[in-house]
Amino acid sequence: MTLLEAKGISMHFGGVKAIDYVDLTVDEGQIMGIIGPNGSGKTTFFNVLTGLYKPTSGRFLFGGTDITNWPPHRIAQAGIGRTFQNIRVFKNTSVLENVLVGEHTKLQATFLGALFRSPAQKKDEEIARKKAMELLDFVKLSDKFNEFSANLAYGEQRRLEIARALASQPKLLLLDEPTAGMNPSEADQVIQLFHKIHELGITIILIEHNMQVMMGTAERIIAFDAGVKIAEGTPKEIQYNERVIQAYLGEEE
């Protein structure tokens, strides 16, 4: 079943066509990869999909619902979670609190409720903490729940971001270069995490430069070049695709 459909999505910044008439479909339960040279529009695609920018043209259907031009918090509530290319953990906040922030999109907190916490709200908070601890366990960070996030190693901060994104209980998780800058053992841990997330039935779109990571993870890959979708196929097909090879060769010149 189709979970996400992008129809003719464009995102132009003045004269820059960051995304130009992109059509794509992601099936429920799939791990879809997006590759492309620097500046080819990968991150911009996530930014328009999550409502940070309004597309110049086109529509997004999520589970059959048109979510185009919805504000970011509504898109998150609808079930699209993400991580960012540059780490965005709250550094002077504990690891556990970072995950609780992610759960917040699902919590029904009110201003008055925060001032006068009722027993029911205290119960909600307890449940939220318990869930956050489970997520930390899932990403293998539960022993660090009380640490300042700034004290975590780089790879651990990346896993914390994934835990936070999972806390909003997404149906679709967007990961923007989650293994960038990692050493091989840190990257391995994250790859294992992709598979565990997949086993939970969560659909994943993964932007990744490391072709080895992609080969071991994605079922289908879409390649972008200069804002245009130039190829789509299995990792093997993409690896030997002439246009993809040309796009990357052009980058090295």
Ligand X SMILES: Nc1ncnc2c1ncn2[C@@H]1O[C@H](COP(=O)(O)OP(=O)(O)OP(=O)(O)O)[C@@H](O)[C@H]1O
In angstroms, give the least distance from the CB of 130 to Mg ion.
Answer: 35
Q: Whose Cβ is closer to ligand X: residue 41's or residue 81's?
A: 41
Using rule CB under 5 A, residue 83 touches Mg ion: no
Figure out which of the listed residues 32, 34, 37, 43 binds Mg ion, where binding follows CB under 5 A. 43
- Greatest Cα pair distance, the chain, in angstroms, is 64
In angstroms, give the least distance from the CB of 85 to ligand X.
Answer: 6
In angstroms, give the least distance from the CB of 100 to Mg ion.
Answer: 28
Rounded-to-integer distance, Cα 190 and Cα 185, Å: 9
Instruction: Give which of Mg ion, ligand X, none residue 13 binds (C-beta under 5 to 8 Å, depending on kind).
Output: ligand X
Query: What are the phi and psi torsion angles at 127 (to 5°)?
Result: -65, -45
In angstroms, give the least distance from the CB of 228 to ligand X.
Answer: 11
Instruction: Give which of Mg ion, ligand X, none residue 83 binds (C-beta under 5 to 8 Å, depending on kind).
Output: none
Specify whether the CB–CB gap between 215 and 235 falls below 8 A: yes
Q: Which of 70, 61, 56, 48 is nearest to 20 (CA)?
A: 56
Rounded-to-integer distance, Cα 156 and Cα 18, Å: 31
Rounded-to-integer distance, Cα 120 and Cα 246, Å: 60
Q: Whose Cβ is closer to ligand X: residue 40's or residue 149's?
A: 40
- DSSP structural state of residue 37: S
Instruction: Give which of ligand X, Mg ion, none residue 241 binds (C-beta under 5 to 8 Å, depending on kind).
Output: none
Q: Whose Cβ is closer to Mg ion: residue 56's or residue 85's?
A: 85
Residues near ligand X (CB under 6 A) are 13, 16, 18, 36, 38-44, 85
In angstroms, give the least distance from the CB of 9 to ligand X.
Answer: 12
Q: Whose Cβ is closer to ligand X: residue 51's or residue 139's?
A: 51
Rounded-to-integer distance, Cα 240 and Cα 251, Å: 17
Q: Whose Cβ is closer to ligand X: residue 56's or residue 105's?
A: 56
Q: Whose Cβ is closer to ligand X: residue 50's or residue 149's?
A: 50
Q: How distant, in Å, are the alpha carbons of 14, 24, 48, 235, 253 from that of 44?
A: 14, 15, 6, 22, 24
The distance of Cα 212 from the centroid of its chain, to the nearest Å, equals 19
Residues that bind Mg ion (CB under 5 A): 42-43, 85
